[in-house]
Amino acid sequence: MTSLHPTNAQRSEGAAAAPLAIELVGINKHFGPVHANRDIHLAIKRGTVHGIVGENGAGKSTLMSILYGFYTADSGEIRVNGTPATITDSRHALALGIGMVHQHFMLVDNFSVLENVVLGAEDSAFLAPTLNKARTQLKALARDYGLEVDPDAIIENLSVGQQQRVEILKALYRGAETLILDEPTGVLTPDEADHLFRILGKLREEGKTIILITHKLREIMAITDEVSVMRQGAMVKTLTTKDTSPGELAELMVGRRVLLRVEKGPASPGKVLLDVQDLVVTDDFKVPRVKGVSFQVRAGEIVGIAGVAGNGQSELLESIAGMRDQLLGTILLNGEVLSLEGDDGAARARAAGLAHVPEDRLRMGLVTTFSEWENSILGYQHAYGSGPGLDIAKARETAEEYIKKFDIRPPNLDLKTANFSGGNQQKIVLAREMERNPDVLIVGQPTRGVDIGAIEFIHNQIIKMRDAGKAILLVSVELDEIRSLADRILVIFDGKIVGEADPATSDETELGLLMTGSHADDVGTVSEPGTLAPHETPVQQTLTQMSPQDNSGKDPN
Amino acid sequence: MESYLVDITLILDSTVRLAVPLILACLAGLYSERAGIVDIGLEGKLLAGAFAAAAMAAVSGSAWLGLLAGIGAALLFSGIHGLASINFKGNQTISGVALNFLAAGLTTFLGQSWFKRGGYTPQLAGDQRFNPITLPFANELREVPILGQIYYELISGHNIITYFAFIAVPVTAWVLFRTRFGLRLRAVGENPKAIDTAGISVTRLRYQALIITAVLVGIGGAYLSIAQSAGFNNNMSAGRGYIALAALIFAKWRPGPALLVCLMFGFLDAVQFRIQGQVFPIIGEVPVQAIQALPYILTVILLAGFIGRAVAPKASGIPYTKER
């Protein structure tokens, strides 16, 4: 998460003279009416890490799919090591030494690591010789690049980080010289991401070329030598990383100035609107996840719940929203006891003035096969028409209004929700929940998988709600987000609130220690800062060590 | 004591004979479903194979030509299934059910118009059928108690398709888990995208699987009409294609267990024939229909929860489309 490789500067100087590994000349690609790539020119030097940034839908993935032969360009030329190449399927790309690690892994879940690695690259009709050869080769690759994975492990038993290593191994086993990584850290824990970047560093040292697609500017600044920015299908600019800044990149990506910081005035908390008392909630397997949590949220304030993912935040949110029955405890909304038992708890919570933006918009927030206008009234459909009938005209009016207010793009209320970008899907959910004028708004992961431009908008909407005197409960795994939005931070660890912090005065280290269940005084018992690897801060080390999602126990490393 | 042994041997012997079409259809379904294509049309392919085999054997006088015709008919049906569900990305189950209707109608219609015997094909005899093969020393060893008897009754004296079916099981296991083709076949049924990104054609692999399916189920159909019986009659597959699919689920899509489950169904069928008309204490004579329903009732009960979690190949039933 912090500085990863101090030698970036040296590297790009050495790389400046390097020949080109990949050159794209005038690439165009249409999907129906959508012009996904417009006249793209891109040169990637051998032995460098080249970042490609852009918002969702900017055409990054399409461009890389063309390079990998998953799609064929409508026009344009691809040159590999200076020679024009025709890449019509992935086999050609692999033969030219281009490997790809997809955002969603292309692994067979119930196969072993070894079987996945050799799939499609078998030497003969019988498997045994290939498997033996691959086993030896995997050992060598593990030694050279720190890519340790048990070759006989079954994929579905591996952590996400290890699965990603298998994807990288697949590419290297096929002799890839150029490796394309599509949003590689989106699914990783900080520790796993760190490990990945160490591997990428080693690959670069060995002379491999790496193309890194991401929208996380921090990663770009940390590891790349050069960075290309894409916007709306076009290549905007290619810059040398050390000569640019996150601010400049963000501006190029969005096409206007972006505030990476949230601007907000001081809060003026009023009366208590949400009062949670001694809440105990279990998960689907009857294991207690929330263990006696009490807190209050007042009108006109944002309370942030910070914690490492998996410490009960999700269950807490779902329980307050009426989606999950609570075992014990009371929830008071505006002074009235809120009864949430039963299957219609969520509906009653809504009726009582509590709006909920769920953590996972695709699973809980939207029906993605519905059109935009249908999703705009979901949960509030009773307000449209009486009896079994639905007042479609009125619903469409509402949707039209939300589209304008929240700048939902494309402004097409008949479009299937699945076809909106992540940011716009989130805006559909936010508009639906915020525009009902609730007293209390609970928001989970408001900007997960959302573009920079949309993040700014969403943050401002949340602040606006606060300033309008609403009580807001915010849960996010992004500590930065909590610190910049919340007026008060409650830290949750192992299902309990272990501390409260003031975002203005507390620093990341202090919060991090609270999030792992230790206090500033007893740091020494958890970790000795002096013993840590130099690239990690003490906080990260503790966080990843303690994180319930961490699978390092299975990791031979 | 002796008579019990004979009884058991006879029941086991008919178990084997009744299990053969199930084994072949089940292995056929295994190839197809492992490649990601649900083949509810097995029933129709079995029926079409049975009809074509009997018709050809009757006309040509050769069981082997009949067998080829049976395979050919199943290939034709698999081709239609492939076209609908692989190329045109239609629903695999619906196109499979359509094949079943087509087979039921077409066999009756063609049978009547060709042979004019109410859907039956002419009785087959001699070389028009696959006859039992006596294995070496069977007659000599017959007198040896127990082992010799088992060899004579149970192992020897079956037709060639029976032996083929039993050999096909280990061969399938080997192909599936020890060869390149098997690896790819399993992969395409689990995650066709992994196959596509590895530069292998999903369409081609799935067609290859369907061809193997057709060959196996075609042989199974031929067994019904020109090995087990001496001619085709209406709807002679009698739901065996469906039972084979159920067996596939019990077996969790693995060849070894598939053999055992098919034998178990064969055994139930054999017992069912055996206990018809027998008088039981207290219950009295059990109606034939109730006994005949036994294998199906068991299927429902077992499927409803006695086999644990059966996880189908993940991409099974989903036509593959490249996505953005």
Minimal CA separation from B87 to chain A, in Å: 18
Mean pLDDT lowest among A103-107, A193-197, B47-51, B287-291: B287-291
In this predicted structure, what is the pLDDT of residue B185?
96
Q: Does A298 or B303 have the greater pLDDT score?
A: A298
CB crowding B7-28: b at 16 or more within 10 Å, else e: eebeebbbbbbbbbbbbbbbbb
Structure tokens at A258: 């972006």
Looking at beta carbons, which residues of chain B come within 8 Å of A418?
none
Burial class (CB in 10 A: 0-12, 13-18, 19+), A501: buried
In this predicted structure, what is the pLDDT of residue B274?
80
Q: What is the mean pLDDT of chain B?
A: 89
**Identity at A377, one-letter amino acid code:** I
Looking at beta carbons, which residues of chain A come within 8 Å of B178?
126-128
Between chain A and chain B, the number of residue pairs with CB atoms below 8 A apart is 72
Is pLDDT at B28 greater than 60 in this prediction?
yes
**Nearest CB neighbour to A102, from listed B179, B182, B197:** B197
Angle (CA) A306-A307-A312 rounded to 5° is 110
CB contact under 8 A, B196 and A128: no
Nearest of B108, B107, B105, B99 to residue B210 by alpha carbon: B99
In percent, the amount of chain B with pLDDT more than 90 equals: 60
Residue A33, preceding peptide bond in cis (omega within 30° of 0): no
In this predicted structure, what is the pLDDT of residue A61?
85
Return the residue of A nearest to B185 by Cα.
Answer: A119
In this predicted structure, what is the pLDDT of residue B248?
92
Angle (CA) A427-A431-A434 rounded to 5° is 130
Looking at beta carbons, which residues of chain A come within 8 Å of B254?
none
DSSP H/E element including A78? strand A75-80
Residue A293's SS3 state is strand
Query: Are the C-beta atoms of A537 and A543 separated by less than 8 Å?
Result: no
Handedness of CA A340, A342, A346, A349 (dihedral sign): negative
Is pLDDT at A9 greater than 70 in this prediction?
no
Looking at beta carbons, which residues of chain A come within 8 Å of B322?
70-71
In percent, the amount of chain B with pLDDT more than 70 equals: 97
Structure tokens at A329: 């405890």
Structure tokens at A16: 């400046």
Looking at beta carbons, which residues of chain A come within 8 Å of B195?
119-120
Nearest of B169, B138, B171 to residue B155 by alpha carbon: B138
| Cα A482 from Cα A303, distance rounded (Å) | 9
Minimal CA separation from B318 to chain A, in Å: 16
In this predicted structure, what is the pLDDT of residue A551?
37
Residue spans of the domains in chain B: they are 2-303
Minimal CA separation from B178 to chain A, in Å: 5
Contact partners, residue B173, CB within 8 Å, separation at least 6: B254, B255, B256
Mean pLDDT of A505-526: 63
Range among B28-37, B116-125, B136-145 rated most confident: B28-37
Looking at beta carbons, which residues of chain B come within 8 Å of A68?
197
Q: Does B153 or A290 have the greater pLDDT score?
A: A290
In percent, the amount of chain A with pLDDT more than 90 equals: 48
Return the residue of B nearest to A125 by Cα.
Answer: B180
Return the residue of B nearest to A59 by Cα.
Answer: B324
Q: Does B309 touch chain A (CB under 8 A)?
A: no
Mean pLDDT lowest among A30-34, A331-335, A489-493, B219-223: A30-34
Is pLDDT at B150 greater than 90 in this prediction?
no
In this predicted structure, what is the pLDDT of residue B287?
79
DSSP H/E element including A302? strand A301-306
Minimal CA separation from A19 to chain B, in Å: 28
B306: phi then psi, degrees, rounded to nearest 5:
-100, 5
Is pLDDT at B134 greater than 90 in this prediction?
no
| Cα A73 from Cα A64, distance rounded (Å) | 11
The CATH class of the B2-303 domain is mainly alpha
CB contact under 8 A, B186 and A120: no
In this predicted structure, what is the pLDDT of residue A12?
44
Regarding pTM above 0.90, the answer is no
Mean pLDDT of A385-402: 90
Is residue A536 very low, low, confident or very high in pLDDT (cuts 50, 70, 90)?
Answer: very low
Query: Are the C-beta atoms of A55 and A254 separated by less than 8 Å?
Result: yes
Is pLDDT at B203 greater than 50 in this prediction?
yes
CB contact under 8 A, A120 and B200: yes
Minimal CA separation from B300 to chain A, in Å: 28
Q: Does A128 touch chain B (CB under 8 A)?
A: yes
Structure tokens at B251: 């077996």
Minimal CA separation from B309 to chain A, in Å: 15
Q: Does A77 touch chain B (CB under 8 A)?
A: no
CA dihedral A285, A286, A287, A289 (to 10 degrees): 100
Cα–Cα distance list, A202 to A147, A197, B40 (Å): 10, 9, 51
Looking at beta carbons, which residues of chain A come within 8 Å of B182?
127
Structure tokens at A449: 């998988």
Looking at beta carbons, which residues of chain B come within 8 Å of A34?
none
| Cα B244 from Cα B30, distance rounded (Å) | 10
In this predicted structure, what is the pLDDT of residue B306?
63
Please write the tens of the pLDDT for every residue from A234-286.
Answer: 999 999 999 998 888 888 888 877 666 778 888 888 999 999 999 999 887 78
CB contact under 8 A, A100 and B197: yes
In this predicted structure, what is the pLDDT of residue B309?
67
Structure tokens at B158: 């079956």
Is pLDDT at B48 greater than 60 in this prediction?
yes
Nearest of A190, A262, A248, A252 to residue A219 by alpha carbon: A190
CB contact under 8 A, B194 and A69: no
Q: Does B74 or A381 have the greater pLDDT score?
A: B74
Mean pLDDT of B264-273: 86
Structure tokens at A353: 């003035």
Return the residue of A nearest to B177 by Cα.
Answer: A127
Best B186, B197, B320 residue to mutate vs chain A (most A CBs within 10 Å): B197
Is residue A452 very low, low, confident or very high in pLDDT (cuts 50, 70, 90)?
Answer: confident
Q: What is the mean pLDDT of chain A?
A: 84
Is pLDDT at B320 greater than 90 in this prediction?
no
| Cα B283 from Cα A151, distance rounded (Å) | 59
Best B175, B183, B208 residue to mutate vs chain A (most A CBs within 10 Å): B183
CB contact under 8 A, B196 and A94: no
Is pLDDT at A10 greater than 80 in this prediction?
no
In this predicted structure, what is the pLDDT of residue B308?
64
In this predicted structure, what is the pLDDT of residue A528?
36
Residue A230's SS3 state is strand
Query: Are the C-beta atoms of A147 and B229 separated by less than 8 Å?
Result: no
Query: Are the C-beta atoms of B77 and B47 separated by less than 8 Å?
Result: no
Q: What share of chain A is helix, strand, coil (3-state, %, to 5)?
A: 40, 25, 40
Structure tokens at A124: 């003969």
How many Cα atoms occupy the beta-carbon half-sphere of B320 within 13 Å?
26
Residue B237's SS3 state is coil
Q: Does A107 touch chain B (CB under 8 A)?
A: yes
**Nearest CB neighbour to A111, from listed B179, B187, B324:** B187
Q: Does B293 touch chain A (CB under 8 A)?
A: no
Domains, chain A, with CATH or none:
1-97+177-258 (3.40.50.300), 106-175 (no CATH), 262-353+438-557 (3.40.50.300), 367-437 (no CATH)
**Nearest CB neighbour to B181, from listed A71, A106, A125:** A125
Residue B170, preceding peptide bond in cis (omega within 30° of 0): no
DSSP H/E element including B218? helix B202-223
| Cα A50 from Cα A200, distance rounded (Å) | 11
Looking at beta carbons, which residues of chain A come within 8 Å of B202?
none
Is pLDDT at A2 greater than 70 in this prediction?
no
Structure tokens at A136: 């030896």
**Chain Cα centroid distance, residue B92:** 19
| Cα A150 from Cα A138, distance rounded (Å) | 9
Residues in chain A: 557
Identify the residue whose tokens are 């057709």.
B214
Query: Are the C-beta atoms of B240 and B29 separated by less than 8 Å?
Result: no
In this predicted structure, what is the pLDDT of residue A18?
60
In percent, the amount of chain A with pLDDT more than 70 equals: 88
Please write the tens of the pLDDT for every residue from A145-181.
Answer: 888 899 999 998 888 888 999 999 999 999 999 999 9
Is pLDDT at A1 greater than 70 in this prediction?
no
Return the residue of A nearest to B181 by Cα.
Answer: A125
In this predicted structure, what is the pLDDT of residue A5?
47
Cα–Cα distance list, A341 to A31, A296, A323, A353 (Å): 48, 21, 9, 17
DSSP state at residue B116:
-
Q: Does A115 touch chain B (CB under 8 A)?
A: yes
Please write the tens of the pLDDT for every residue from A167-177.
Answer: 999 999 999 99
Instruction: Label the pairing between strands A471-475 and A301-306.
Output: parallel
Order of all β-strands in the sheet with A326-333? A288-298, A272-282, A326-333, A336-337
| Cα A514 from Cα A498, distance rounded (Å) | 7
| Cα A21 from Cα B35, distance rounded (Å) | 37
Q: Mapped to the 3 state alphabet, what secondary structure does A252-267 carry?
A: HHHCCCCCCCCCCCCC
